Structure 1
Amino acid sequence: MLKKQYVDEDHTLNFIVPIYEPLPPQYFIRVVSDRWLGSQTGLPVSFRHIILPEKYPPPTELLDLQPLPVTALQSPSYETLYQDFKHFNPIQTQVFTALYNSDDNALVAAPTGSGKTICAEFAILRNHQKGSDSVMRVVYVAPIEALAKERYRDWEKKFGGGLKLAVVELTGETTTDLKLLEKGQIIISTPEKWDALSRRWKQRKHVQQVSLFIIDELHLIGGQRGSVLEVIVSRMKYIANQVENKIRFVALSTSVANAKDLGDWIGATSHGLFNFSPVVRPVPLEIHIQSVDIANFKARMQAMTKRTYTAIAQHAKNGKPALVFVPTRKHVRLTTMDLITYSSADSGEKSFLLQSTKELEPFLNKISDEMLKVTLREGVGYLHEGLSSLDHDIEAQLFEAGWIQDCVLSSSMCYKDTLLAHLVVVMGTQYYDGENAQTDYPVTDLLQMMGHASRPLVDHSGKCVILCHAPSKEYYKKFLFEAFPVESHLHHFLHDNMNAEIVAGIIENKQDDVDYLTWTFMYRRLTQNPNYYNLQGVSHRHLSDYLSELVENTLSDLEASKCVSIEDDIHLSPLNLGMISSYYNISYTTIERFSSYITSNTKMKGLLKILSSASEYAYLPIQPGEEEVVRRLINHQRFSFESPKVKDPHVKANALLQAHFSRQSVGGNLALDQREVLLSANKLLQALVDVISSNGWLSLALLAMEVSQMMTQGLWGRDSMLLQLPHFTKDLAKKCEENPGKSIETIFDLLKMEDVARRELLNMPNSYLFDIARFCNRFPNVDLYVTLERDIDGKTKIGPVDAPRYPKAKEEGWWLVVGDTKTNSLLAIKRVSLQRKLKAKLQFAAPDDAGKKSYILYFMCDSYMGCDQEYSFTVDVKEADGGDKDSSKE
């Protein structure tokens, strides 16, 4: 659909078409108007020089082996970990010897629901068996945060409780993660977190000491976020080559056509490569693909609802559980209500939906989502990203216990939820992306949804019904019954990875850069499927020219953005902006934008605009029909927008930030987007402070630090600092400020009051006063001497920041700044973490002229408002012998 407001914008459409041999000379793409005569155009696509991918080897045959008993582990402590069953399934049985009785690298590719996690556990137990606990360091990488959390909960109970191993999950905060890495024996991470931690592997011996590296869902290397997965595996391969410590690689994946390439890349031998067919499952899956030939998306979804109800009535009889996946959160609610309506209208026979019982009410009373309470009473639940964690957990327990039979989920929950059912219905395989274009689900997502139709030890078979648009049917028929190939996406995301390796000193010249690429999966696929990577031939010359051009173009962009310096057209060295970009793991385009937009006169409005211009926000989706909501949000913010583009994700990010500072509820999908904006903003702000400090702008740096406090507490800088306290309202803060005798404006003022007077002023129940006391005990009270010492009760633990409006746990950080207010110059800056005591060293150049100079030392928190401190001090600059002044002062 070409809408009037988007007529000047580029539209990208992806077609998936079959190619048959012998190859035709060309295909034609035609664009024809559906309402104007003669309005059409055509484009021939020549196949004359096409090079088709190489043929794929057949999948691994599942052997008819005697199921292996759990006693094969030959260790009572290991056997107790698997008390729920007596035998391993056929796939686990076949891979057991390679994973448990050898140290070879391995790739296990099998359909979702095949028990691959236990295969990885074989490798962990092998690692534990042969090494002492002190040197055991296993890293498990899950591509999605929800999978990492699920694995942490599972393994903390299994290995932490059963084997007393230290299981830790990385947080994304570098200081915290380094401590976790040091004490952890099983480290659970996402690709982004491990990328940030392993970039400086030369200085971090604990990264070098990894003995087992497990990559889950390796097939997602072919997805949008796959480049980070590829980079960390390539880096760990390189580290294994450079250090004496041997690293064992074990990868898990769904069935893929080119598993041999993946296996060769991670160093798996033929004995360690298992690529089972997509139809080989421990619980056989019966798949029904039904097409609906209605072009209009909305009408098609409505037509699919009745078919979904019919599928549940037919395949999930006798109270068997069913999961229904729909494209968006909006469809979740609509479909849930439609299923209940169809069930109520089905008067010919008793509804198959389980009706609420009195036993359910105590659980329903704890649920905050009112509509969810209503639907659960009718026997249908729903799950989407907007539900609170408590609502989510209660409903998941009700479903698993069989108290509700059906659950409707948004498609993005397929990786985030572990619910299993007898039947899975995929209601539509397309969604609307941010540009109002219909986009097909990736095959990987669809396979993940199908994997939920597997209940080992409960069902003899599972069932899956896929409802799709008619033109997509043949495509899904092919790739759901045959393994699909995965390709690298690294060539689209090379700049930041290359910059990081230059900063780390791994790449020092252009030849190093080409050599670096040879460690990647992309390098293996270049000759296997050259046209995919825009390579015109497969000879050594073609390959060499392609890599050289790729390196030249990437380095040219990095040089233009002032991240990298190229000397003598060969040697590479990192510049300040490149180092900031790598340290905070943000895009080189973001840091270039920060550097070029910021000026010494920038005020709060400009600072927020620059912050929200970051490339990290370019993918913030504008959902269909969301434009009006965003427009209203924009109109109600403190800082206005000059002719705002509602479809611009950067404008949306800015509006969501301002709404957060105003404590304005946004609700719905916007709340999820706001969470992502805030999580990215933390590292973006720290990078912005570094860029400002590099220019030596004192007042602007202090302003950016205040924005960090605003971000954590969800307040504007002009708001009362007392609003950080739990249960405080604007009226109560105003009452405190108007307190007769002494105005209470800061938290320190409140702490100095007599207990009786404070109780009388606040007039709160004891539970509220206890919450306020707990906050005050953790509120930073710092005495600044030569060393920094925190004034704190010996019993009080310094944990995460008290910040209920910030979307995740955050450790407090501090900036030490030396500035000259007369010239507005920032002379020195250091970011520190203060627990109880700290010695910090700040160096800065002395001024050119001799004499006494007055400076101010600022101590700025990044999380709490009202605890910053500043101290004046003087430096006596004297002429040294020979007329040269002292070059620096500490």
Structure 2
Amino acid sequence: MNSMNKPAYAAICTHSPTKPVLIFVSSRRQTRLTALDLIQFAASDEHPRQFLHMPEEALQMILSQVTDHNLRHTLQFGIGLHHAGLNDKDRSLVEELFGNNKIQVLVCTSTLAWGVNLPAHLVIIKGTEYYDGKAKRYVDSPITDILQMMGRAGRPQFDQHGKAVILVHEPKKSFYKKFLYEPFPVESSLREQLHDHMNAEIVSGTIRHMQDAVHYLTWTYLFRRLMVNPAYYGLDDKEPEILNSYLSRLVQSTFEDLEDSGCIKINDGCVESMMLGSIASQYYLSYMTVSMFASNIGPDTSLEVFLHVLSGASEYDEFPVRHNEERYNEALSEKVPYMVDKNRLDDPHVKANLLLQVELPITDYVTDLKSVLDQSIRIIQAMVDICANSGWLSSTFTCMHLLQMVMQGLWFDETSCLWMLPCMTSDLVESLRRRGISNLQQLVDCSKRVLQGIIGSSSVSWINQDLQHFPRIQVKLKLRKSDKDDEKSSILNIKLEKTNSKQKNSRAFAPRFPKVKDEAWWLVLGNVATSELYALKRISFSDHLITNMKLPSSLPTFQGLKLFLVSDCYLGFDREYSIEELI
């Protein structure tokens, strides 16, 4: 890659000596190395600041606002950096400088081509390969990415034409010349994703028989391309019999894989969805993910195992692991509460596990953590449903607590609940512990007068203000017999009401979580002594809610039966109510 920096500088001098230039590179590290080489080449030509187009006073004012030290250095020479490792403020500043032609050159990763509208007179694509952490080697960039990058060449209202330079290894030169000057057909990728599509259609009831699936495929783009370009899909001919045989084999193998994973059941050509298939469809998860869950989760699964199962989901298969990143991962592995396999530090799933466990030491991982957390919520919710459908009370609670920890960015221990308050300090935590308060629920339930007596009048106002972010819920329960004559079961009526004066919306307070999320709760019927779960209901409400749950009629007595109210985002807000006391 570094050998392309000199040709890139020459291309700038030849095709765009004074107009804006975008240089696309394969990684964040390459943005820095490329910019430094361009600075060196410009200095060799005795024009080190030829790409800078603003006075020194304005430059110094801008540099004082930049937090990334590499960006601060390159901006002095009119060269900007743009990648996901920069914070939002630095990225916005660079975009503004380049858009206003204050800096002439912007070195960036391919994400800029898709996300931000910053055209330039000249676009240089420095290499057509990137490091694939999953394959552990360099692979070709998608053609669509190359086209998108080239499309940034030419500024409307400023240029009559734009220029694009692709720097590529000699063996691939003829391929890209053919690609640039001749149209390429768009082929279908449905085969690689067919299992999850089929599973979703089976769950929805669109496909009930194997022949329904074959008919379904005839309406897809895959079928259109089979008739036009059968050789691409491994067929010698496009006769109807051959196409029908191919589709039948494709459906058969797909159904067999889904059945082996426990997502569907096949009986005499008829197909029906199973619990795992429904959960995969509901949470948009891969069939392989839910199958892996079923194999690794049991009645008393520990938090450590749940973390490994979560990070092992197929949804993290494409999680980016960059070249030589394993040394950062090794440093992270020394700080985590639960060990990871140190022989697989370049594995996407191991990296996801590490990011879920530690506070980040490097800026580059901030965006990666957002990506991990973004996927984690629906994956954990699916694990909760699998545990609940299996009747495992202990594992269900552990999984729910894992979701709470992910939402708050805190480990679940005796004092972690107090740290959900932004104003909390170590001294205040110790003071509260001495007075027997170890969780936030106790503080929320305290009156202002009691709170003032505990922590003093000087601190009570701002702590009370922070406490308004959290819900204070009043629960009323009533047990009644079923209205149906043929049923002997009992119905539990549940009334929930938020009594906060200000907290009347359902927005969750989770400042460490990168996305906005609404509060939700689980109502769980179970017996702790036997670790059995009988029913689960997911609810959400803004100020009040009335609902009910049917109690299991098979139970000879309600002894030990409890209703649990569990938050999906707050630590230490779980409540339990004895059903036996309602009789």
Say yes or no: TM over 0.5.
Answer: yes
Residue matched to 1:674: 369
Please say if residues 121 and 153 of structure 2, whose CA atoms lie closer than 8 Å, have aligned partners that are also in contact: yes
Please say if residues 852 and 876 of structure 1, whose CA atoms lie closer than 8 Å, have aligned partners that are also in contact: no
Q: Give the letter aligned to residue 831 of structure 1.
A: R
CA pair 632-538 structure 1, distance change in 2 beyond 3 A:
same
CA pair 642-306 structure 1, distance change in 2 beyond 3 A:
closer
Give the deviation of 1:509 after TM superposition.
1.0
Give the deviation of 1:478 after TM superposition.
1.1
Please say if residues 423 and 466 of structure 2, whose CA atoms lie closer than 8 Å, have aligned partners that are also in contact: no
Please say if residues 49 and 77 of structure 2, whose CA atoms lie closer than 8 Å, have aligned partners that are also in contact: no
Residue matched to 1:745: 438
CA distance in 1 between counterparts of 2:458 and 2:226 reads 69
CA distance in 2 between counterparts of 1:343 and 1:412 reads 27
CA pair 749-453 structure 1, distance change in 2 beyond 3 A:
same
Residue matched to 2:527: 820
What secondary structure, in the 3-state scheme, does the structure 2 residue paired with 1:415 have? helix
Residue matched to 1:139: none
Task: Please give the per-residue CA displacement for 1:581-621, whole angstroms capped at 9, x wherever unaligned.
Answer: 10011011111111121111211111212222211122223
2:431 to 718, 731, 736: 736
Residue matched to 1:497: 197
CA pair 539-623 structure 1, distance change in 2 beyond 3 A:
same
Please say if residues 565 and 574 of structure 1, whose CA atoms lie closer than 8 Å, have aligned partners that are also in contact: yes
Whether 1:725 aligns to 2:424 is no
CA distance in 1 between counterparts of 2:395 and 2:458 reads 36
Give unpaired runs (5+ residues) of structure 2: 477-493
Please say if residues 506 and 518 of structure 2, whose CA atoms lie closer than 8 Å, have aligned partners that are also in contact: yes
Please say if residues 781 and 867 of structure 1, whose CA atoms lie closer than 8 Å, have aligned partners that are also in contact: no
CA pair 348-379 structure 1, distance change in 2 beyond 3 A:
closer
CA distance in 2 between counterparts of 1:762 and 1:746 reads 21
Residue matched to 1:265: none
1:458 to 158, 182, 194: 158
What are the within-5 Å matches in structure 2 for residues 560-599 of structure 1? 560-568=260-268, 570-599=269-298
1:790 to 494, 498, 521: 498
Task: Please give the per-residue CA displacement for 1:1-31, whole angstroms capped at 9, x wherever unaligned.
Answer: xxxxxxxxxxxxxxxxxxxxxxxxxxxxxxx
CA pair 348-749 structure 1, distance change in 2 beyond 3 A:
closer
Residue matched to 1:778: 469
Task: Please give the per-residue CA displacement for 1:554-573, whole angstroms capped at 9, x wherever unaligned.
Answer: 111111112111122x2111
Give the deviation of 1:429 after TM superposition.
1.6
Give the deviation of 1:876 after TM superposition.
9.2
Residue matched to 1:480: 180
CA distance in 2 between counterparts of 1:778 and 1:654 reads 30
Residue matched to 1:870: 576
Q: Give the letter aligned to residue 4 of structure 2.
A: M
Task: Please give the per-residue CA displacement for 1:682-722, whole angstroms capped at 9, x wherever unaligned.
Answer: 11100000111111111211111010000001111115212
CA distance in 2 between counterparts of 1:610 and 1:444 reads 33
Task: Please give the per-residue CA displacement for 1:143-167, whole angstroms capped at 9, x wherever unaligned.
Answer: xxxxxxxxxxxxxxxxxxxxxxxxx
What are the within-5 Å matches in structure 2 for residues 164-203 of structure 1? none
1:654 to 353, 356, 366: 353
What secondary structure, in the 3-state scheme, does the structure 2 residue paired with 1:536 have? coil
CA distance in 1 between counterparts of 2:90 and 2:246 reads 53
Residue matched to 2:480: none
Give unpaired runs (5+ residues) of structure 1: 1-300, 878-890
Q: Percent identity?
A: 39
CA pair 732-452 structure 1, distance change in 2 beyond 3 A:
farther
CA distance in 2 between counterparts of 1:668 and 1:578 reads 38
Residue matched to 2:149: 449
Residue matched to 2:486: none
Task: Please give the per-residue CA displacement for 1:856-890, whole angstroms capped at 9, x wherever unaligned.
Answer: 1111111111222111112899xxxxxxxxxxxxx
Give the deviation of 1:514 after TM superposition.
0.8
Please say if residues 506 and 541 of structure 2, whose CA atoms lie closer than 8 Å, have aligned partners that are also in contact: no
CA pair 474-840 structure 1, distance change in 2 beyond 3 A:
same
Whether 1:695 aligns to 2:394 is no
CA distance in 2 between counterparts of 1:840 and 1:353 reads 65
Residue matched to 1:382: 81
Give the deviation of 1:748 after TM superposition.
4.2
Residue matched to 1:202: none
Q: Give the letter aligned to residue 44 of structure 2.
A: A
CA pair 469-642 structure 1, distance change in 2 beyond 3 A:
closer
Give the deviation of 1:671 after TM superposition.
3.2
CA distance in 1 between counterparts of 2:51 and 2:116 reads 25
CA pair 757-365 structure 1, distance change in 2 beyond 3 A:
farther
Please say if residues 20 and 104 of structure 2, whose CA atoms lie closer than 8 Å, have aligned partners that are also in contact: yes
Number of aligned pairs? 561
CA pair 622-852 structure 1, distance change in 2 beyond 3 A:
closer
Please say if residues 750 and 758 of structure 1, whose CA atoms lie closer than 8 Å, have aligned partners that are also in contact: no
Task: Please give the per-residue CA displacement for 1:110-168, whole angstroms capped at 9, x wherever unaligned.
Answer: xxxxxxxxxxxxxxxxxxxxxxxxxxxxxxxxxxxxxxxxxxxxxxxxxxxxxxxxxxx
What secondary structure, in the 3-state scheme, does the structure 2 residue paired with 1:701 have? helix
Please say if residues 353 and 378 of structure 1, whose CA atoms lie closer than 8 Å, have aligned partners that are also in contact: yes
CA distance in 2 between counterparts of 1:697 and 1:377 reads 61
Please say if residues 558 and 579 of structure 2, whose CA atoms lie closer than 8 Å, have aligned partners that are also in contact: no
Whether 1:556 aligns to 2:259 is no
CA pair 844-750 structure 1, distance change in 2 beyond 3 A:
closer
Give the deviation of 1:759 after TM superposition.
7.2
Give the deviation of 1:738 after TM superposition.
4.6
Please say if residues 780 and 790 of structure 1, whose CA atoms lie closer than 8 Å, have aligned partners that are also in contact: yes
Please say if residues 706 and 717 of structure 1, whose CA atoms lie closer than 8 Å, have aligned partners that are also in contact: yes
Residue matched to 2:562: 856
Residue matched to 1:839: 546
What secondary structure, in the 3-state scheme, does the structure 1 residue paired with 2:183 have? coil
Give the deviation of 1:762 after TM superposition.
7.7
Residue matched to 1:50: none
Whether 1:804 aligns to 2:511 is yes
Q: Give the letter aligned to residue 495 of structure 2.
A: T
Give the deviation of 1:632 after TM superposition.
2.6
CA distance in 2 between counterparts of 1:335 and 1:655 reads 30
Q: TM-score, normalised by structure 2?
A: 0.90
Please say if residues 119 and 153 of structure 2, whose CA atoms lie closer than 8 Å, have aligned partners that are also in contact: yes
2:169 to 456, 469, 475: 469
Task: Please give the per-residue CA displacement for 1:158-202, whole angstroms capped at 9, x wherever unaligned.
Answer: xxxxxxxxxxxxxxxxxxxxxxxxxxxxxxxxxxxxxxxxxxxxx
Q: Give the letter aligned to residue 189 of structure 2.
A: H
Q: Give the letter aligned to residue 325 of structure 1.
A: F
What are the within-5 Å matches in structure 2 for residues 626-645 of structure 1? 626-641=325-340, 644-645=343-344
Give the deviation of 1:366 after TM superposition.
3.2
Give the deviation of 1:392 after TM superposition.
1.2
CA distance in 2 between counterparts of 1:484 and 1:464 reads 19
CA pair 618-738 structure 1, distance change in 2 beyond 3 A:
same
CA distance in 2 between counterparts of 1:761 and 1:734 reads 17
Q: TM-score, normalised by structure 1?
A: 0.60
Whether 1:527 aligns to 2:224 is no
Give the deviation of 1:670 after TM superposition.
3.3
CA distance in 2 between counterparts of 1:378 and 1:797 reads 52
CA pair 427-791 structure 1, distance change in 2 beyond 3 A:
same
What secondary structure, in the 3-state scheme, does the structure 2 residue paired with 1:846 have? coil
Residue matched to 2:482: none
Give the deviation of 1:535 after TM superposition.
2.0
Please say if residues 230 and 238 of structure 2, whose CA atoms lie closer than 8 Å, have aligned partners that are also in contact: yes
Please say if residues 506 and 540 of structure 2, whose CA atoms lie closer than 8 Å, have aligned partners that are also in contact: no
Q: Give the letter aligned to residue 724 of structure 1.
A: M
What are the within-5 Å matches in structure 2 for residues 273-672 of structure 1? 301-318=1-18, 320-347=19-46, 351-354=50-53, 356-434=55-133, 435-568=135-268, 570-641=269-340, 644-659=343-358, 664-672=359-367
CA pair 483-728 structure 1, distance change in 2 beyond 3 A:
farther
